[in-house]
Every structure is written in C-alpha cells, then in structure tokens.
Amino acid sequence: MNKILAGLSAFKNLDSLLVALLGFILLLIYTGHGGIGISPDSIVYVSVARNIPEYGALLDYNLNPIIDFPVFYPLFLSVAAFLSGIDPVAAGPWLNALLFALVIFCTGNLMESFQEKNRIYKIVILLSIAISPSLFDVYGMFWSETLFILLSILFLIAFRGYLRTRSIVALLFCAFIAAITCVTRYAGITVIATGLMLMVFDRSLEWKKKILHCFLFGFLSITLLVANLVRNTIVAESLTGPRESGITSLGDNIFYYGKVICWWLPALDTHPGSYMITAIVLFMIVCAIYLKRAWLAIAYTTAENCFAAFFIVYTVFIIGISTLSHFEQINNRFISPVFIPMLITLTCWIPKAMIGLPVVKRRIALGCTGVVLIAFQANELVKLYGMYQEVSEYGISGYTDDSWKKSQTAAFLRKHASVFKPEHKLYANAAEAVYFNGGLRAASLPHWIEDEDIKDFFSRDAVYVIWFHSINDPDLLNLAALRKRADVLKQYSFKDGDIYLVKPHLAR
C-alpha cells in the first residue's frame, strides 16, 4: 500500500509541498514588521501596475512610458491587484511568499527527475533554499527577480521535458516560457541562450533537426522581447532607456561576483582574498562538469545538466553586461538566480557517489558530508536570523522602513501639497520618494551627463527642489552645482530633508 501511495504524484511531491509551505510562512514572518521592501525600481513597478487600470497604458509615477524595464512584471502585479482587489504594496508579502513557495515546490518537482533520486538529499536541498539569506534578500523586496527566478525554474522543467521527447510541442512550450521571461527581465535572454546551448552541444540530436529546432526556438523566444523593444522605440525613441558605458573592469566584476558567492558560503565571506579565486574556480568546475557530459554524452539530457547550463550562461551574462554597461555594482540581487543552480550542480553527485562506496567508507563519507551540510545550513540560519533581527526592528530597508514612515519631509508632502505653486515645476533628488511617500509627481534632478535636461532645468524661471538628506546619488546635480547657476532659497526645513525654490540666473 505504501509503495502505491509513494508512486502517486501528490505523495511523491508531498515533501516539496511541506517545505514550500515552510518557506511561505517564513517569508510572511520576515516581512511582518513593515511589509514588503520598496526600492526605487519597486516604485516604478508599483506605479505602472496602479496606472494600467486608471490610464490604460504602461505609465510610471510621472506618467512617462516605462522603457527602462520590460513590461511583464508590472502587468503581472496589475493582474494580481485586480484579482485580489488589494493594492500591490499591501498584497506584496503574500504575493512574494507565494512566488517563493512555488520556487521551492517547482525545484522539488524537477529534482524528482534526477538520475539518482534520494529523499533525504532532496529535503536537505529544499530546506537550504527555504532558509536562504540570498533568496530572502530578494523575495523580501518588490523586484522582478522574484518572478524571474520562478520562470527560470519553470523553463528548466519544460526544457527537461523537451530533451526527453524532442517534440515540437514541447519545444514551443519552452519558447513560450522563454518569451515571457525575456519581458520580465531583459536578462531573460539568458534563458534563450541556455536552451540554445543545450541544443547545440547535444550530440544525440541530428544536425538537420538541431538547426531546425534552434531556429524555431530562438525565433519564437524573442518575439515578445522584440515587440517590447519596438513599443519602447515608438513611445520613447529608445530601446531600453539611457544606458551608460561600463566603468567597472572585468576583474573588478569577477571580484564582486565572487564576493556574493562567498557570502552564500560559510567562512569565506570574511576573506576578500578568496573572492576572485572562488568565482573563477567555481565557474571552471561547473564548465568542466557540463563539457564532460557533453563530450561523453553521459547524463547530458538530465535536469542536473540543465541547471549547470543556466549557471554558466547567466554568470557570463551578468559579468559581461556589468563590464560593458554602467549600472549598480554586482550584488546578491543580480546573481540570486544562480543560487539554486549552483547549489544543485555542486551537490547532485553526492547520492550516486554514496551508493558506490563500501559500507565503512560510506559511513565516513556520510559523516563528512553531513558536517559540511550542517555548516552550510548553520551559516544560512545565522545570517538569516541576523537579517530578521534588523528587519523586525526597523522594517526592510527601503521606502517602507521605519525611517521613511517617520519622515517629517514625507509627512509634510502628504499634508501640504497645496503649498507648491502649479506654475513652478517640481524636482527632487529622489522623485520616486516624492510619489511613494508624498503622493506627488516630481521630475528627477538632471544627471550630470544629460546636457539637454540640464539646459531645460536652468531655462525655467523657477522650480521647486525637494532634497532628501538620506539620498546620495552622485550621478545627479547636487546643491553645490545648483547654487553656482541659480539662487537656491530654502522654503522649508526638516530633520531629514529640505524644500527649496530655485531661481536660475540665466532665466531672468
């Protein structure tokens, strides 16, 4: 009777369901103090989601078309808000907890297709995901990575199915998921590249069929992305918004990548000398594993190999794009999608290796492996508890933490919006904060490199500038630059900010 029950899919994935439920509950506890974390990017997503039903268009908090980010994640939030009848920010903890639980459950489902299935190994890995500081750092925030990670796991499930059947229907389903992923994050092209790489290196796939399938998959996968980019060009004459050339070297980006990886692992995060070495060695190990499977055609079509392929492609992409383009320094948010692939690629060989050992050596190996796994999960728990202590006292860092809820400047903006004369345009060094915490629409102060925006700013008779002390963006014009070319008159002063009336000299 037990064997019959174990064979049923519902019971086969009961362990995944239980760990997913644990992750769901833990994330709700983690976001319990102040709700979901809100960053500047989050405010763009939320404002677009709110404006879709109101304006019937993809407009941000300043009613400008969204082009810096793909369109699917705000659409997803808008649909979720429509179905639940709850504002995205209020629903955020529940929505992210559900996405997190689905990631855990889908990973467990994919692990059921591993060559060497082992219940204990599966539970250990799923628990490591459920208490991962890396993933809590992401799922505690309103970021598109929360959906992207789930879609990447769903893609690997679908592609594993295609590798098993080689059917056109399965390939079309993979292309559909890849297309959605590309308009969730522009980094979704890594999913397309992963699929193409798996097909190209597949020695069991006949060449004519390989070329046909690669073309079909690649063409269909980019359709939504192309449509998104065409739409951006039409509404804003830009593919993905302003992008600056990279200012961080390849070596530095490998260092920052390794720094995050070492933060995931016990003991290494306090040794900066190990960051670059760890990144390079880890990447070479995963590449060696993948190439060995491809060359020997052994275990190539397995789910384990799909995880390795995604790890390689995404790592190359994120380090490469960080070198070529200037944006935020590589951090946990950017490389969190490879946490699960890394964890599985480095450990999936353990169950099979244990089986082939003599009894005595197996016990020794089990003991050593147990010590390593306990150290890894203990490291996760210590870091996660430290993160929880901070957020339980102050809230998750961002525009929903206690400092912003108690902000005098934000309180003034909410209560006294009428003090701003409509003939004077409103600017801020954090325009998203004005919208989220004050309910007003303000333009961002010009960037140093945006000559046209600077010219427009100083051509006006007078403008209001809201300056938040806690915001330090060196890319924007600062108060010293404003005082050189304008009279900067303080209108209101608070502990955490000031409001100025700026009268450019040339405008007179």
pLDDT value, residue 321? 92
* CB-based contact 293:286 (threshold 8 Å): no
* C-alpha distance from residue 50 to each of 76, 82, 282 (Å): 11, 10, 42
pLDDT tens for each residue of 310-362: 999 999 999 999 998 877 889 999 999 999 999 999 998 888 888 777 888 87
| Strands of 497-504's sheet in order across | 443-444, 425-428, 463-468, 497-504, 486-494
pLDDT value, residue 8? 43
* CB-based contact 413:437 (threshold 8 Å): yes
Q: Enter the pTM of the model.
A: 0.92
pLDDT value, residue 1? 39
HSE-up of residue 157 (Cα within 13 Å, Cβ side): 19
Q: Which region among 111-115, 147-151, 255-259, 366-370 has the lowest average model confidence (pLDDT)?
A: 366-370
> Checking DSSP bridges between strand 244-245 and strand 325-326, what pairing results, if any?
antiparallel
pLDDT tens for each residue of 443-476: 899 888 788 888 888 999 999 999 999 888 888 8
Average pLDDT value for residue range 255-259? 95
pLDDT value, residue 7? 45
> Checking DSSP bridges between strand 425-428 and strand 463-468, what pairing results, if any?
parallel
pLDDT tens for each residue of 44-102: 999 999 999 999 999 999 889 999 899 999 999 999 999 999 999 999 999 999 999 99
Average pLDDT value for residue range 247-268? 91
Would you give the distance in Å from CA 301 to the centre of its chain? 27
Say if residue 2's pLDDT is above 50.
no
SS3 of 434-447: HHHHHCCCCEECCE
CA distance 23 to 35: 16
